[in-house]
Structures are given as C-alpha cells and as structure tokens.
Structure 1
Amino acid sequence: MSARSRTRRLSAGLAVVALAFAGAGTAAAHATPVSVTGSGAAAAEPGILMNYVVNTKPVAIHVDRTEEAIKAAGGTVVQSYEDLGVVIAQSTNPNFRTDVKLGKNGKSVQTVGATRTAAVKEGPVGSAAKPAATKGLLAGESAPALDPREGEQWDMVQIKADQAHQQSDGTTRVLVGINDSGVDDTHPDLAPNFDAADSVSCNNNGVPDTTPGAWRPTTSDHGTHVAGTVAAARNGVGIVGVAPGVRIASVKVVNDDGFIYPEYAICGWVWAAEHKMDVTNHSYFIDPFEFWCNDDGDQGAVQEAVRRAVAFATGKGVLSVAAAGNSNYDLANKTTDSGSPNDTTPVTRTINNDCLDLPTELPGVITVASTTRTKDRSGFSNFGLNKIDVAAPGSSILSTIPGGKYGLKSGTSMASPHVTGVAALIKSNRPWLKPAEIEKALRTDADDQACPAVVDARCTGTTANNAFFGQGIVDALDGVKRW
C-alpha cells in the first residue's frame, strides 16, 4: 500500500455477488431518492445510512481538514485517498452534504455527493463479520477433463489472436485486473494464471478486503467469463484466452445485489494502481445512474471523484478498458435517461452530452463496442462518433464459467476483455509503453470496419473512424508481429 494513498485497512466483510453484465441490478432496499433533475440533491429521510464522496485538494493538509469536517458533521471516514483528494464518508445525518461544509474545516471541501440513492445495505463500515475462507464457487464439483475447444472460438479468429499466438502468448510480467464480480481461480483454465496475492474485494463500502477468497464469485459467473476471454491458459484444456501467458487478478467491485457503486469502483482503481497492474477490464457502468450529470450536486461530485481515480491509476501505468454499454444508445447524442437511478425508482429525465456513462466515457479509458460473427455491430451495443475507440467480438462468446465449465454470453461486457487481452499482448512485447502509447497502438492497429452496406443514418463518420466501430476491430496480430 502506497504511503501517499492513505487507504485505511478497516475491518471489512465479504459480500456476495449477483451481476448482470454492463451494470444492471435488482432493486435494493428503498430509500427516498435524491434529486435527479440537476437542481442539487434533496436529503434522504432522517436516519438512513448513506455513503458519500467528498472531494478536496490532493494535498495532505486539505485531506486532513476534510476528514475533520466529515467527523464534525456526524460522519465516519471510510476511505481516504490523499493522492486523489477524495474521501469516502458514511453518515446517517440527513443534512450531511450541507453540514460538512459549515464547520471550521469545511472550506477544504470542494464538492460532496451521495454515491447511491438507496440506503447502504452493507451496514456501517466495519460492522460486517468476515466469513470463513471458501474454496471457491461450486467447490465440491470436480472440473471435467474437457477437450480443447479453440475451434469454437470464432472471436479469436476475428481479432487474429490465433495468428498472434504463433509469435506471443504474452508474459507473466504483465498483470491484468479483472474488475468485476469475482473470478473462480479453481477453474482449470484460470488457475495457472491466477494471482491471489494481488486480488481483493472492494464491495463492502469500498474498503479493500484481502480475506482469502473474498475476491471469488458467489452467484455471478460474469467475472469468470470475462477472465477466460482475457487469459484462459494454453494448457490442453477447454479454451485459450487472447493473452494466455499473462497473469490475472480478481478485483471484485460488485455487491450482492449486482450493483457497482462509485466507492467500490474507486477502491478498485486505487488497488490496481498500488499493485502495479498493467491493464484493467471494466465490463460495467457505475450504478445507480447510467449517465452521471455534472450539473447535479451528487452526480457531479461522483463524476469528479471517479475521474480522479482513473487519472491516478493511469498515472501509475494502468490502462483502463471498458464496455461501451448495452442500451443501443448514441453516446454522442444524449437526450433522455429513463432507467436511473436503478437502485430505487427510475425517473425519466432530460440529459445532454455532459452526462457521462462512467467509466467508459472518461479520459484515458478505452471504450469498446461489440461485433457479431459477421463483423456487424451487435444490436445491443452502444455507439457514437468519437465515443467508440475500437470494436471487438461480443455476441455469443464462449468462455469460462465457475465450476470448471464453459458457456456463451453476449454483451459489450464480452467485447471489452478481447481488447484488454490485446493490450496485455502489446504490453508483454513492448513493456516500456505507457497507457497512452498502448491506447494509440490499439487504435492504429485496429482493422478499419466500414458502416453497414445498408444505409444506417446512425453510423456517421468514415471507414477509418465511425460511430459503430470507432477506429476498427481490434487486431491482436499487429500488436505483436513487429516486435
């Protein structure tokens, strides 16, 4: 743990997970929602436990003063990130947003915002009991001895990973974070490449939990599927990932109801940065808003806090790759959002392009759209000119699922790990490259994919850069062939 990032190692419990890809989740315990209309936030009903991001200057004295302001306002400091100037706080004070700015140290507070609209289901920080270490999902089942199934992996052929493997499978020097619902490290295709020492769970109020097994899945197979696409081992069993020679770590950022709240995601980026990960995959959007608007008090504060976390990780050498989303939505021309907040009662609202899908629209994040076997855009995939960076296969993708099994899944969640795997191959072969240079290589090497022959007015741009495919379908072979 970096001395400059003063992440507190408080007692944290293990939360179970049920993840629907790209951030969907079932409703949590209801609380009065905050304003989603851009006029600032209305307080939750008295007594409800809520979590907040509190932003300040990334300077020690201002972080210290902000912590004191939080305590004076009846709050608890959950996590404090000095390098980000972000403090995660928890409080039952319905006037916390106002009170935290009123005390003698309140001048250090820049912005403050609730991270969710439902009550904190985890309970007060540090209150949950840690369960005994588990042996992994479906531990009682023996992994079947499967024949290699590479012949079923059309996706690897589309991105030329099969050809790239003739030159490089990647190297164990490279560590990839699977920021998701947990990874089943007992799977025979994942166990050879799994790094338990650098794995963590962040889904209890955003506090890192390194209890053995805390980072494993419980009911969701999403993270395990993503992990297989990135780095299923070349071991004569099952499938082969895009970068079968790199290491993977599980960074669990999803709670038991399938939500990825901001404090979980921020914890994940800081963890990745401090554990020297090279690439992280984010196949989700941050809940409870599909789009976070900076003209709303809560949402603007969260948007800034998450931006700082991504920038911090990028500065430490971490490249973030994210799914574009599965709403068939034009990210370059936003008009309405009818699904947010998804942890209480959605309210249809007018939005604009200043409202961001987090994390995929943040600077430094690679945004990945989904393709079909025939190189068409997957019908569910979000799109947008100069919003999509590259595209990759995401329809009916075969990969690992818990219990030594394999299954098909569709979504931009499945497209993103293909690009993460190619980035890992590039980093393996050119270890001196920084995140921005890997991003440039991904864009430059991608194979141009023109708009559909049947005119679709939504596919604006050129063959070299358009709304559906960005700068093209990612190319693993070009990532390794020159080195």
Structure 2
Amino acid sequence: MKHSLLYSLILLSIVVLSCEKKEVAVVTPEEKPANCFVSKATGETIYPSVMRAGEVVIKVSENLRGRIEEVNEDLGVLCQGTKAEDKVFSKVQPVGLRRLFPDAGEFEERTHEAGLDRWFIVDLPENISLKQAEEAFYGEYGIEKVEFRHEIVGMFDNTVIPAIETPVLSSAATQVFDDPRLSQQWHYYNDGSQNGMSEGCDVNVLPVWKNKIAGSEDVIVAVVDGGIQYDHPDLAANMWTDSKTGKHGYNFVNNSTTIKAHDHGTHVAGTIAAVNNNGIGVCGIAGGDAKKGVPGVRLMSCQIFMTVGGQDQGGDGAQAIKWAADHGAVISQNSWGYNFDYNGDGVLSGSELSAALNAKIDTYTREAVDYFIRYAGCDNNGNQLASSPMKGGIVIFAAGNDNIKNGAPANYAPIFAVGSVGADYKRAYYSNYGDWVDICAPGGDAYKGYNVLSTIPGNGYGYMQGTSMACPHVSGVAALVVANRGGEGFTNTELEGILRESANQDVLSYNTEALGVGLVNAGDAVSGNRDTEHTIEPELSNSLSMKPSQTREIVFLVNNPTGHKLNVTLSPQVEGITVSADPQKPNKRFIVTVDGRTAVGSNWDRENVYNLTISVACNQEEEGVHSCEFKVSIDANQAPIILKPLTGFVADKIGESSSLNLSNYFFDPDGEDLTYDVSKTSIGKFTFKAGKLMFIPSEYGSDEVEVSATDSFGAKVSGKLKILVRDGAARTVDMYPNPVKDNLYFRSSDSFTANVKIYSASGQCVIEEKVEIAPFNPGKIDMSKLAGGIYSVKLTSEKLETSSTVVKL
C-alpha cells in the first residue's frame, strides 16, 4: 500500500511539473521581428533567430564541385574570382567552406551518386547577414540551392521526473522478465487496472518476449538525438561499437567521437533497447534477454543535442542520418524537429504558428533521408550486404508536440511519422496529427497522470512525455520485426508494410484527428497475424484534365499489407499513358504518367477522352485482382494568337542592332513554348535569340516582312513587320521627293507633331501647316498648286528645328 501511494504521488508530481510547459497553437496577433525576410528561393518568411547564425548551406553544380575539390576548398583561391565559377565566392568573401556531408570513404561512390557531395556549408563574414548571403548566392552560376540550417529541438517538454523508489507491483509482464521497474512501464503491457488507463493501450510486446526473439545484435538502430549514456548499466551491453574507433557513435554538435550523455537521447535509447531480464531497472522493447544470452539490438549514438551551460546546443540531423547509413544502421530513430518559436516564449502564436503549419523538410535533410532509405544495409550499388538483416533503411520521426495539423520534417512522405497517445487510446494533448502521420504509439499524457519510464543519465531512470517518447516505441518494434523476420531479401518496404498492417486499429475509434493506421503492435507485427487483402484507390481524384502539350500524373495508393511485389497493369493500353511505382514507396504508391503529345498523336486538333482501369495483383497470394477506374481528358490544341500588331524596326545607322521581344506580341493559349520564323529582306539580316527577334541593317531603305509563331504541333499564326533604315546621322527628318511635283513627305525615326512653313525664293511664306510625322506613316504637304522654283522648308517642333531646300517642278 505504501508503494502504491508513493507511485501515485510520483505521477501527481509529473502532472504538476509538466503543466509548467506553456500551451501551444494559440492564435494571436503578433508582429514579425524586424530582421525577418522573404526567401528569394522559396518565398517563405525566414526568421534568423531560429536559423543557424553566420552560415548558409549551398548545393553546387557538378562543375563547381569539381572546382572546389580542385583547389581543396581553398577560399584564398576561390575568393579571387579568377574563374567564372569562383565569382560568387569573391562577392561574399566567406570565412569558411566545407562539405556538409564529409568524405564517406568506402561509400563515397554512392555519396556522389546521390549528389550529397555537392552540399557545402558556407561560413559568412560578420558583415554579411543571412538575407544578404542568399541574395548573393541565389541564381548565380553553379549554385543550385541556397538554404538555411534550422535550429532543431527535441520532441519533449524538457521535464524529467526521476523514478525514486521501485514500487512492488505485479503484472503479467513481471512473469516474463525480472526487471524491477517493468511493472511501471504500462506502455509495454497495459491491463487497464490502474486508474485512467484502458486495457490493451500498449505496444503488445509480451507475446514477442515470451515466444520469439527479443533482440539481435545484427540490427543497428541509430538514435539521432542527444547523446546516450553508453556506460549506463541498463544500456551498456546493447551499445553499438565502431570497429575502427572503438567509440559508440559520433557527436555532430562538436564534431568528435566523444558522446556526452543527454536526458533525451538516453531516455529514447532505453525504450528501444534497455537490457531485458538482467534484474535491474527497466526493459527495452528490443533489449534481448540477458538470462537466455539473447543480445538486444545495437544502439548507435548519433548525437545532435548537447547540454552546454544548462542550454541545449543542436548539431545537424541530416549529417547524422547519412553517417548512420554509412556505418551499418538500418533503422534511423529521430525524435526532433524544427524550432519555430523565434521569440523564445514557449508559445507558437501568430506568424510562428503560421510558419509551423506550413513547414516542410529542407532539401538537404530530405536528400539525407532518401539516402538512408535507399542505401542503409547496402553496398554502393544498392545491393543488400551479406551482413545486413535488411535491404534499405527506415527513417522514423516523431510527429511533433505543437498540437497542430503539421509537423516538419516528419511530414515528408517517405518518413515514417509517429503520433502519440496516452494510456487511454486518446491522442495526447500535445501530439501533432494529420493524414501525413503513419502510426501512433504510447508517449504519455501528464495531464492524465501517466508518462513513459525509461533510462536517464547518471545510471538512473525517469519519466518523460512527448512524441519523442512515442517514436522510439515504433523504432523498437521495427527492430524486433527485423530481428525476427529479417535476413537475405528482407526489405524496408516489407518492414513498413508489416508495421502498418499489424497496427491495432482500436485506437481509431477514440480519436477524430488522424493518427495514422493505428497503434503500433509488436505481437502481430512479429508473428505475422495480419490481413493480406490489397486495395487500390486514387490519392486525390480518379479524373485528370490536361492540355495536349502537357505531361501530367495521377497517383494511386495501394494497401499492400504483405509488402510483396505487385503486378500493376493499365487497360486498355494507350501509347503515351504508362504506370510506374513511386521509387520512394514501391508497391504502395503508383504513378500513372500521361504524355499528352504521344497520347493524342495526330488527333491534336480535337478533344481526346480515355476511360481506363488500373489493376493490381500479387503472384505470391491467391486473392484476386483489384482495380480502380479513372478518366483522362486531353483538350484540343489551341493555335497561337497575336496579342497586338508588331512594332516596326527603325534603324538610324547601318550595322546597329535592334531587338523585339516576341513574347509581347505572340501568345500560346496552351502555355507552350513557340518557335519563330521571319521572311527575308534585302536591307538587313534577322536572327533569333532567347525569344527575341534581332535585326542588323545592311543598307538604307524600307521593307515589310512576315513574322510567324508556331507551336509544337505545327499550328501557326503570322503578322506583318515593317522595317525602316535611314541615315539618322545625316539628317533628323527626311524630306522627299526632291525635286517634288505634288506631295512633299516628312519622315523621322520618332513620332511627333511639327509645324512646317514653306517659303518662296522671295522670302514669302506660301504654306504653313501642322504635320503628324511617324516612321511608317510620314506626314505630307500638297505643293501641287505652287509654281515651279526653289523653296525653303522650315520644320519646328518641341524637340527640334531643321531647314531644307526643295525644288518644285
């Protein structure tokens, strides 16, 4: 009774202390900080206070990468700007330049193949802000991407409640292993006997511990987090050790092999693989069985958080994910995300909340995730290594603790995102949610009096809550599945399918917010008790409308519980309409690509409608074919049009080039790029350059040519273009003919109104008129009634005054 009371007091203290965390997702008006700016690259608002200060990340072209390698990253050479590709560095004058993903040794070949060797960190001089740096790099020769490094945060509330005394509680779990604190780990076995808990709201791991393998040293889980206390008595036996360095991971905060113990990372590690059945402390989901000599899975500490002076300093998660793949991990455990609290008050409000709701993974982290998924457990060519239990890796992320319908970087589709529930199947008050969440797991809910118990530094044990605590439950179950079902030919796609289809769907009836396919279920995942029926449905819509010049996609999602390879077909077969598997989610997501040009062929001048069926089947299972009908409508091609009459060319000098931007005059309603042609003229030469018509005159005179615009299908429209080449240096206004019989004409390079006076030889003004003068519409005065003789013509306007003598016949 005494111990039960103490346990209740501990839980009460958790609630009180956890409530000190400020609420999130409160929408209030808020002014943006003065130094925020809109990114030229993405259009997003950038808040420097939550970005790594003094540096940007760039992705360079292969040519520029070669140049940087050629000079061995020597800024002294690059900043001289002696070569075209160096000039951007001479503008910024960086104080440091280094690869974001360092040389990978034996795996450098695949690093290059993935383009990760083209990412560089640029250290900025103090006088260059992040905004100025982006402006300097963006769009420059050899620069493909310019990004900022987000400050990162752990997905927990910074509250750790030490477990002081071990309560003497008995349950079905304690009959399996002898770890004294196992009875407090309701998240492994929940019989509903404790107040506020619901029976079965756990990860159902007991059946695996009883009847299957509880771990395997062949399975390596990278804990991308704070450092693990690698000598903790409940963790030491399950730590991974680098055969080359003798170390247990890498510290990406200070770039060393020295791991510094951290509350968050040590707690996460214990949930995955604290040593089981060793008579001390707690259990880990895949922690093995010490008494039977069954090793647990191996914990690789990839440290991206480190406490310095009471404050957490963050490293780089992308670097850690990539490094883990190159050192043997097949599961990447990530309980971290981006920081959006730019004013540091612990509340997401106003523009902070807006930024969080619209956030997505940055490019270099996305590419690191893709690399892990493709190459973990594989050689440089993506073939499974003989020593690896799985081909390819799985990247598992906590959904986030902001109580919003988004979470970055967890919302990137290939990532396996984890939401959090309490001990009652209900979404924890803090957990992010949405269709992008893949699965949920117990993460605790301090408001209701129960949190997650695991290892903490100082050889201790403590309670924490958050999607950070939910996530390692999924990583632990994934590790158990690989330990029991992995081996030659086992793939990451199969693992993900197993996790999805074995999930406990009881949780879905308790929640209106999307928390994935259900609650992670170790027992069914390892034993294979799951449905095998396949279904197929459109991701968004089963109809597609498009232009004939376009190439568009329509996506179909397949429920593939077995993870087996599927046969996918389209009927009827139409040239130009094909189906392929999404390389990031093969056998689960299929993309129908419609090449409008090929599909319509010679029928581009009319509407084309196709009613098709996509079907999936599995040769390894006896169930039938599953199908989904869809419709593709391709509009008739529309011919180009002329927006306005073409402006003529007027040249005042032989050899002087003029240009006309044809996109101001021709337009294609279908959005196609147009090709242009022009008829020949004897008074000059035409060329085309970047959508402009260039004219170089070779002799004086005037002419009219035809300019045509043609779309890719051959539909064409034409317009007339007048040309005038005159000697502008000799005279401002041409007066012709001379001698004149009837009309005297006035022509100039510009359009203007002039006052014209004509004087006889005696000095008498015989004609005075206002004349409108233009290059292609010359002004005129009728001199037919004047007597023959010599006349003086004086022309004046606001800008000029000129005189000439003409002979009247």
TM-score exceeds 0.5: yes
Letter in 2 for 1:111: K
Q: Which residue of structure 2 aligns with residue 392 of structure 1?
A: 441
Once the two structures are TM-superposed, the CA of residue 365 in structure 1 deviates from its matched residue by: 1.0
Instruction: Give the secondary-structure state (helix, strand or coil) at the position aligned to 1:228.
Output: helix
1 CA distance for matches of 2:119 and 2:506?
A: 41
Name structure 1 gaps, 5 residues minimum: 1-19, 25-30, 119-145, 332-356, 461-466
Question: Structure 2 counterpart of 1:435, which letter?
Answer: N
For 1:330-366, what per-residue CA distance to the aligned partner results, in whole angstroms no more than 9, with x for missing partners? Answer: 22xxxxxxxxxxxxxxxxxxxxxxxxx3321113211
Distance 1:442 1:43 in 2: 37
**Displacement after TM superposition at 1:78 (Å):** 2.7
| Partner in structure 2 of residue 426 of structure 1 | 481
Q: Distance in 2 between matches of 1:237 and 1:243?
A: 16
Which residue of 71, 83, 98 corresponds with 1:78? Answer: 98
Judged with a 3 Å threshold, the aligned counterparts in structure 2 of structure 1 residues 41 and 411 are, in CA distance, closer, same or farther, namely closer
Check whether the contact 1:49–1:90 (CA below 8 A) recurs between aligned residues.
no
**Shift in alpha-carbon separation, 1:188–1:117, aligned structure 2, 3 A:** closer
Residues 140-151 of structure 1: matches in 2 within 5 Å? 148-151=180-183
In the other structure, the counterpart of 1:53 is 57
**Which structure is richer in relative contact order (CA contacts within 8 A, separation 6 or more)?**
1
- Where structure 2 has 5 or more consecutive residues not aligned to the other structure, the ranges are 1-19, 25-32, 79-85, 102-111, 153-177, 190-201, 243-247, 288-295, 342-351, 376-391, 445-450, 530-809
Aligned partner (choices 207, 211, 233) of residue 163 of structure 1: 207
Counterpart Cα distance in 2 of 1:393 and 1:410: 9
Indicate yes or no: 2:521 matched with 1:475: yes
Match of 1:113? 147
Moved more, 444-453 or 234-243: 444-453
> Match of 2:416?
366
Deviation at 1:40, TM superposition (A): 6.1
Larger Rg: 2
Tell me, yes or no, if the aligned pair for 1:54 and 1:109 is still in contact at 8 Å: yes
Shift of 1:325: 0.9
Give the alignment's Cα RMSD to 1 decimal. Answer: 3.4
- Per the alignment, do residues 272 and 44 of structure 1 end up closer, same or farther by CA in structure 2, a change over 3 Å counting? closer
Render the CA deviation track for 1:134-173: whole Å, top value 9, x for unaligned. xxxxxxxxxxxx9622122111121111221121112100
CA distance in 1, matches of 2:462, 2:269: 13
Aligned residue among 296, 307, 312 for 1:258: 312
Contact conserved, 1:50 with 1:114, CA < 8 A, in 2? no
**Bigger fraction of residues in strand:** 2
Matched, 1:412 2:478: no
CA deviation digits over 1:404-430, x for unaligned, max 9?
Answer: 111111111000000000111111221
2:274/2:282 contact within 8 Å kept = yes
Residue-pair matches, total: 372
Name 1:64's counterpart in structure 2: 66
TM-score between the two structures when normalised by the length of structure 2: 0.42
Separation (CA, whole Å) in 2 of partners of 1:53 and 1:36: 17
Give the direction of change, closer, same or farther, for the CA distance of 1:77–1:237 in structure 2 (3 Å limit).
same
- Please tell me whether residue 402 in structure 1 is matched to residue 446 in structure 2: no
1:437, CA displacement in angstroms?
2.4
1:67-114 deviations in Å (ceiling 9; x for gaps) = 655744322223244432322221123333233357xxx422112122
Task: Give the distance between the partners of 2:459 and 2:45, measured in 1 at CA.
Answer: 46
TM-score by length of 1: 0.69
Q: Could you tell me whether the CA contact under 8 Å between 1:51 and 1:116 is conserved in 2?
A: no
**Residue 370 of structure 1 contacts residue 378 of structure 1 at CA under 8 Å; is this kept in 2?**
yes
SS of the residue corresponding to residue 284 of structure 2 reads coil
Shift of the alpha carbon at 1:380? Answer: 1.3
What is the identity, as a one-letter code, of the residue corresponding to 2:98?
V
Aligned mates of 1:182, 1:43 — CA distance in 2: 28
The farther-off stretch of 427-436 and 252-261 is 252-261
Q: SS of the residue aligned with 2:337?
A: coil
Report the secondary structure of 2:516's partner residue: coil
1:180-239 Cα distance to aligned partner (Å, 9 max, x none):
1111012111000112425001114xxx422xxx2222xx41110000000001222111
Change (3 A) 1:450 1:362: same
Q: Map of 1:76-225 to 2, 5 A cutoff?
A: 76-81=96-101, 82=112, 83-84=115-116, 85-92=118-125, 93-94=128-129, 95-100=132-137, 106-116=140-150, 148-157=180-189, 158-166=202-210, 167-197=212-242, 198-204=248-254, 208-210=255-257, 214-217=258-261, 220-225=262-267
Q: Aligned runs of 1:290-329 on 2, under 5 Å?
A: 303-316=362-375, 317-329=392-404
Structure 2 counterpart of 1:229: 271
Q: Alpha carbons of 1:269 and 1:147: their partners in 2 closer, same or farther (altered >3 Å)?
A: closer
Asked if 1:246 corresponds to 2:297, the answer is yes
How much has 1:34 moved relative to structure 2?
3.6
Paired position in structure 2 for 1:142: none
Cα displacement (A) at 1:44 = 7.5
Partner in structure 1 of residue 773 of structure 2: none
Q: Is the 8 A contact 1:292 1:303 kept in 2?
A: no
Distance between the aligned counterparts of 2:147 and 2:354, measured in 1? 12
Amino acid at match of 2:497: K
Query: How much has 1:271 moved relative to structure 2?
Result: 0.8
Distance 1:50 1:222, change over 3 A: same
Match of 1:343 in 2: none
The verdict on how the C-alpha distance between 1:100 and 1:39 changes in structure 2, with shifts beyond 3 A counting, is closer
CA distance in 1, matches of 2:429, 2:522: 24
1:282 matches 2:324: no
Q: Any conservation in 2 of the 1:200–1:251 contact (CA below 8 Å)?
A: yes
| Counterpart among 424, 442, 448 of residue 505 in structure 2 | 448
Identity of counterpart residues, as a percentage? 28
SS in 1 for 2:305: coil
Change (3 A) 1:287 1:380: closer
Q: Give the drift of 1:116.
A: 4.7
SS at match of 2:222: strand
The alignment partner of 1:148 has SS state of coil
CA contact (8 A) 1:276 1:318 kept: no
The secondary structure found in structure 1 opposite 2:372 is: helix
C-alpha deviation, 1:174, in angstroms: 0.6
